[in-house]
Every structure is written in C-alpha cells, then in structure tokens.
Chains A and B, each alone.
Chain A
C-alpha cells in the first residue's frame, strides 16, 4: 500500500471512525451538548469497548484465536456504529460545532486567552515531536508490542510466548486485556507494522486524547467561573508541564504517558481513570435543578457505563479499578450530599456490570 494511502487509512481507523462512533451515544444528549471533545472522548471509549466485547469471544471460541475474523467483525461494527451516529446526528439537529460554524476557543480580542492556548499548543506539539522523534526503552515492550507483531504475522492470538516464540497456552493474566490486539488490528487495516503503530502513531493519538479528557474536566471544574476562557487553557498548560516534568518516579501516570504511551496501563492511568473522574464530576454537578435529576445526569451515567465497558481492554485489573472508583466515588458523594435513596450509587452500581463481568471472567480463567 502506498505511504499516502497508509496515512489516510491510519487517519480513518485511528481518528475519524472512533470520533464518529462517539456520535451514536451522544445522540442521547441535546444537539448543543454534542461538542467535539465530548464526542471524541465518548467515541474512543465506544471503540475500545466494541473491540474488547468482540475480541473476547473470538479469543475464547475460535481455533487459535482467529484474528482475521476479529478484524472483519470489528471493522464492520465500527463502520456501522459510525454510520449510525452520523445519520442519527444529522436527523436530530447535528452537532454543537456545526451549528455554531466551528470551534471557538476565545472571544474576539482576548489576547491573554489566545496566548495561553498558544502556550498549551507549543507544549503539546513539543510532546508529540519528542514522542515521534525519540525512542523510549521499556522492557515490557518485549511482551506487549511483540504480542501485536505475533498476531499481525501469524493471525493467531496469544498462542506463542512473545519472548522466545515457543507455542503455549493462553496466558489469561494478560490475554483478556486486548489493547495489543487492537494495535495489531489497526496495523492490519492500515497495512502498517504494529511496532510503527505502537511507537510512532499511538503517542500522536493518545497524548492529545489524554489532554482532551483534561480539557473536559477543566470545563466542568470552571463551568460557573466568569473567567473560564482563561482558566481552562491555563489549567491545560499546567497539565502539560506536569506531564513533561512529571518523571519524579517511574510509577507516575505522567511518566507512563510520555515513556510507554502505547501500553494498556498508560491508558488506564491517563485516559480511563480521568474519564472516571470526569464522570464523577458530572454526577456531582450542582448546576440548574434540572441537572440534578436522573435525566440531567444522563451524561455522567453514560460515561460511567462506557468507562466500565471499555475497561477490560487496558489491563486485567482495570475493570475492578473502574468499578471501585465509580461506585466508591458515588457512595461517598451520596453520603456527603445526602442524595435521596442513594440514587447515584445504586444506578452506578448497576452500570458497572461490564466491569464485574470482565473481573469475573479474569478470576475464572487465570
């Protein structure tokens, strides 16, 4: 495949379709709430959830883990979800940015706002440049990236030891977390080596995606503040600086984000858990009375469900982590805010069902 076609395919399978997939769940929201950051974050959660839900039965019930079948079903599902989302949005008022004629970051004449956004853009571009132009050694790549390459080259899933190549039984401690298979699937769909997808392409996607979640968190944190147009970019500048200067130990989310961006645990720390925090912020909202009803909190519940449905993809412990964060968070919230009948906690307890299923499967198989 010529390089330009590969690039187009990468844009479609790694960005365009996942974003379009976010339109379908966002149909549950009014058109003015269908903003790009909201659709994109939701879309990637949908993408990861769809892949995990398809990949687990394919791994368990097909001979040697039929990767070609997985890619066919996944690509068909993504095209259908994206098409459904685009069609549904067109029928129900479009999206906020289309209605407003594009995204606006600052009001006209706000120099300080533009300066802060420019500072954030410079920091983000620096991170992306370093991620693309510099290689980061991590021993775990010999496991995760090799699993992607093995699947890409052999069409099987988790049937060979990645370190040496000897055939083996499925290692369920790692196998249910399917991110390496998603990397291989993107590689197959774009005819690109999985090591290039993991090391060169995914950082260009996952670092902005992490920032997009923080942007949404900032929107919630500052939504009642007059000067939010300044505070949001200022918040993101500090977030970017914390990422660049966050290597205080090898364990911090920021270190993972910039040095092993393509691994599932990185997405757990920098995408899934912040999405969980965002969901809690949305559920804890104290805006208009209408927003404190079950209907007004729909977005928070939707996000909680998607976080749990996608959690299985990242690491084996991500589903119990997601369930613990969301149920524990809403329990504390309901007790402190004196929610009648513990409404949020009970609903979130039910919405965490996918995480319980992943956890039960892991405990049964490992």
Chain B
C-alpha cells in the first residue's frame, strides 16, 4: 500500500494542480446536476482511483508489466477535462443549476487560468528542452560525425563504432548503418549491463590507450570517437587506430586493418 501511495505522490508532483483537481472533483460530485457529467467526471474517477489503490490490482499489474508503469493507470483520471469544466462552470456549479450570466462566467474563468499558471510548472523551461539544431531534432555534431564515418566506412552498412556516452542516444536515431559498441543500455545503471569498451572510454581520469584499444579490437570496432578534451595515456596509433579528423571538438579514429563487415 505504501508503494501505491508513493506512486500517487510522485505522480502529483509539484504545485497545487492536483489539489485543484481534488476540489473540482468534489464540486462536481456534490453540485453537478447533469447525471452523465457527474458519473463520468466524478463517480467513475473515484471508482478507478479505488481500483488503482487495491494491492491485488497492483500485484497483478506489476507481474505483467512491472512496477515502473503502474502510474499510467492514473491517466484514467480526466484531470484536465475536470479542471477545465469546473473552471468555466463554477457559477453554474455554485448556483446548483440554471443558466449562468456571462459576467459571472468571466471572472471564474480568469481565476482558473491564473490558478493553472501559478499552480503548474512551465514545460518549456525543462533542462531537457533546447533549441533544435535541425529538423531531425538531433545534435548536429552527431550528424556530422555519423556522415563522416559512413563516408569513410568503405561502403559497409554495418560499421562498428564506439561513440562517447553523450552521443549514444542519438547516433542510431540518425543512421542504423552504424552499429555501436555500447548504447543506451549502458546509461541506465539499474539495467545492470557491463561492457569493456564503455568501461575504458568512460573512465573518469585519463583514458588508457592500450586497454581501450584491446577492448576495441576485441569488439572489432573500426572507428572510435573521442572528445578532444579527453586526456589519453599513450597513443592509439600504436595499436592501429589512426586519428582521421577533428569534427566539432571530437576526434574520429579509424583502424584500417579491420575489414568492413
């Protein structure tokens, strides 16, 4: 039960939008005259919330789809529709029926807008949102690096490449002609993957050229991309990886001795 409550608390998040929702729900339950509206926006959400909070439902759901997505059952609650309906129907709901006059509708509507703005959280100031660099909405650096590697890949459509972790989410959204030595699976700790190339590339201090190249060769990795800012102990060319180009602050190394896949 505690886990279910925690899910609700996490879902509710910051601000007071869910308090507003609770107030709107209560108002509709108590004052709404149209039975269809009271049922769909009032009674049904309460029943669904009750179902959501039943531990056996939680148990069955998590067995099928895991704990991480249980919050999605809360999407059944028509939060937006209820808030908007209550916001514009406040005079009607408080009067308990009859037709509202225009003046009495405007003020509650403006108040509802103000409460939503003040009690909500502006989506576009998220750290995950930035100006798009192109229509693909992928970093241009990654596109430049991929274009270079595909053009230098001797026509192969399965080019094995090790990209630094900041690029792995994007590379294959642009081209799947590039295969990655490690991908997003290494970015999520709880998934518990390990990968020798990742371990050598993402060491916090200097990269050990010998250890990295051994891992790259074992993975038959023809290209490796490293930030120009990274310190490297040793020289990758000693192990067959020649520096080819500097693009947007990243060096591309190629091992020409490995045959195209």
A66 to B49, CA, bound (A): 42
Q: From residue B250, how far is it (CB to closest CB) to chain A in Å? A: 19
Q: Considering the complex, which residues of chain B in the window 17-52 have a beta carbon less than 8 Å from any beta carbon of chain A?
A: 17-18, 34-37, 39-40, 43-44, 47-48, 51
A265 to B178, CA, bound (A): 28
Q: Which residues of A contact B65 (CB under 8 A)?
A: 316-317
- Segment with Cβ contacts to A, from B68-76, B202-210, B223-231, B240-248: B68-76
B183 contacts A by Cβ under 8 Å: yes
Question: Using an 8 Å CB-CB cutoff, how does the interface string of A116-136 with B read, 1 for contact, 0 for none?
Answer: 000000000000001011111
Contact A235 B88 (CB under 8 A): yes
Contact B36 A134 (CB under 8 A): no
Q: Which residues of A contact B37 (CB under 8 A)?
A: 221, 281
Question: Using an 8 Å CB-CB cutoff, how does the interface string of B124-136 with A read, 1 for contact, 0 for none?
Answer: 1010111111011
Range of interface residues on chain A? 35 or more
A65 contacts B by Cβ under 8 Å: no
A250 to B72, CA, bound (A): 11
Q: From residue B80, how far is it (CB to closest CB) to chain A in Å? A: 5
**Contact flag A227-B99 (CB < 8 Å), given A237-B113, A247-B122:** yes
Question: Using an 8 Å CB-CB cutoff, how does the interface string of B165-193 with A read, 1 for contact, 0 for none?
Answer: 00011101111111111111101100000
A169 contacts B by Cβ under 8 Å: no
Contact B169 A139 (CB under 8 A): yes
A109 to B88, CA, bound (A): 22
Contact B10 A321 (CB under 8 A): no
Contact B88 A234 (CB under 8 A): yes
Contact A247 B75 (CB under 8 A): no
B54 contacts A by Cβ under 8 Å: no
Contact B105 A230 (CB under 8 A): yes
Q: Report the nearest A residue to B124, measured CB to CB.
A: A130
Q: Report the nearest B residue to A250, measured CB to CB.
A: B13
Contact A165 B40 (CB under 8 A): no
B239 contacts A by Cβ under 8 Å: no
Q: From residue A92, how far is it (CB to closest CB) to chain B in Å? A: 29
A253 to B120, CA, bound (A): 13
Q: From residue A208, how far is it (CB to closest CB) to chain B in Å? A: 15
Ordered by A's residue number, 28 sampled pairs between the chains whose C-beta atoms are within 8 Å are A138-B128, A142-B169, A149-B174, A149-B175, A153-B176, A153-B177, A163-B168, A163-B180, A164-B182, A195-B136, A199-B137, A199-B138, A227-B105, A241-B113, A242-B17, A243-B80, A243-B123, A244-B120, A245-B121, A249-B10, A249-B14, A251-B10, A254-B123, A280-B40, A317-B64, A321-B73, A332-B43, A336-B35
